Structure 1
Amino acid sequence: MPKSRRAKVVSLTKVAKKTKEQKGALIQEVQENIDKWQYCWLFEVGNMRNSHLKIVRKLWKDSARIFFGRGAVMAKALGTTLEAEHKMGIHKIAQQIKGQVGLMFTDSPPEEVTAWFDDFHPPDFARSGNRATQTYILPSGPVMQQHSTPPEPFPHNEEPQLRKLGLHTKMVRGVPTLDAPHTVCEKGKVLTPEQAQLLKLVGVKMIEFRVALRARWTAANGEVVQIEGQSPPEEAGDEEAGADEAEEAISD
């Protein structure tokens, strides 16, 4: 008896691989930008959020070109050896493409670029694996959301979720309420998934999104300068930290 097509198992996690043509197009695009701009910056992103990186791209769209992701393809475009490099000296940048790093091509003066990224560090919600930057305690009484000003109490239908995350709440006049203060997290300790989710629900941001500039290549002389003095972005310690971020190369 022929096998039923209805019995076929389809994986919902399967991601289509990039074709050879797509990779070739990305390599060509990166190389075109190498030829176009005066500087190529290598940057590293910690606590990765696509939303913040999109803001960076939007604010620099008229004066820069940014690529992020597909490190092996970007490195190949630059050339990882002296013999294969697309432009003089740029293989020194390609050899450093590891982890959550990207490339930014621009004509803006180096001082302007470094000053801008020093000032860009928007707050964000911590993930499990990050360390708490403060001890946060929910006081007794109605559980309040900090997303609005002034804070508002949680609606009644969210009490099951709050209890699931470790709060011993009860309903008082339709509002989830604590009889005693609850310590959500302690400063310096690694956050659990439940703690991170609870902080997000309450509206408490404990980390900053930062872009750390690692190196700069100058087209005029092929010189590569390593950038010192910037704090490395903190990474979440759990394996799921970056699971929800796009794996594709991002370019503006």
Structure 2
Amino acid sequence: MRNNKLKDIRTAWKHSRFFFGKNKVMIVALGKGQTDEYKDNLHKVSKYLCGEVGVLFTNKTKDEVQEYFDHFKEMDYARAGNQAKMDITLEEGPLDQFPHSMEPQLRQLGLPTALKKGVVTLLKDHDVCKEGDILTPEQARVLKLFAMEMAEFKVQIKCVWNSETSEFENLAGEEKPAQEEDEDEEDDDV
């Protein structure tokens, strides 16, 4: 999770509560099944708690929440494992934005650099990534050093549970939540 982006969301939603933590702890708190759930149908939310997820408690309507998060998108730096969205080529020449002390670090990241008269200089054109490539940690670091944002930060609403009516609604478009799929795969392996 990107902490600085989540701070912006928390500031905009001061009237609500966000919980991010160990999924297993949140599952126990909400209820693993009908017998130990805190309120009716709340255990259904637990099935969607896998990966990087959080829980939002709010008095706002479902439409208000969806409207906000459908339009909340910010560009961010790509991480290792992300897919490159475009070709990035650095052109030969001086890199004035970097101090001379960073030249060894740039060379270690795979850039053909040298110091010329105390200025970090790229000795030849360098392809950082091609569109569709899976980024390595080195490529992601180079993109960040050159302030090239290639990833999009957004929040996807997976499901809704209404405390007044105890109604549960799946919004993720998945037929089965991820935890049920994992349980099915485990059954097949036995």
Shared fold per TM-score greater than 0.5 = yes
1:118 counterpart SS class: helix
Aligned partners of 1:168 and 1:207: how far apart in 2?
26
Q: Distance in 2 between matches of 1:138 and 1:72?
A: 45
Mapping of residues 194-209 of structure 1, within 5 Å: 194-209=138-153
Whether contact under 8 Å (1:153, 1:175) holds in the other structure is no
Tell me which of 42, 49, 57 is aligned to 2:2. 49
CA deviations over 1:68-98 (Å, ceiling 9, x no partner): 1121121111112112111111111122222
Q: How many residues align?
A: 174
Listed one character per residue, the Cα deviations across residues 186-223 of structure 1 (whole Å, up to 9, x for unaligned) are 11101111111111111111101121110000112211
| Residue 57 of structure 2, aligned match among 85, 105, 108 | 105
Name the structure 2 match of 1:189: 133
Q: Which structure 2 residues correspond to residues 154-233 of structure 1 after superposition, within 5 A?
A: 154-228=98-172
When the two chains are superposed, the root-mean-square deviation of aligned CA atoms in Å is: 1.7
CA distance in 1, matches of 2:157, 2:144: 28
Match of 2:83 in 1: 131
Q: Secondary structure at the match of 1:209?
A: strand
| Structure 1 alignment gaps of length 5 or more | 1-47, 144-151, 231-252
**For 1:113-124, what aligned pairs fall within 5 Å after superposition?**
113-124=65-76
Give CA deviations for 1:137-157 in whole Å, capped at 9, x if unaligned: 1111112xxxxxxxx532211
CA deviations 1:71-127 (Å, max 9, x no partner) are: 112111111211211111111112222222111010111111111111222211111
Q: 1:184 Cα shift? A: 0.7
C-alpha distance after superposition, 1:167-191 (max 9, x if no partner): 1122233221123211111111011
TM-score between the two structures when normalised by the length of structure 1: 0.65
The 2-side partners of 1:202 and 1:122 are apart by 18
Q: Which amino acid aligns with 1:95?
A: K
**Structure with higher RCO (Cα < 8 A, 6+ apart):** 1
Match of 1:142 in 2: 94
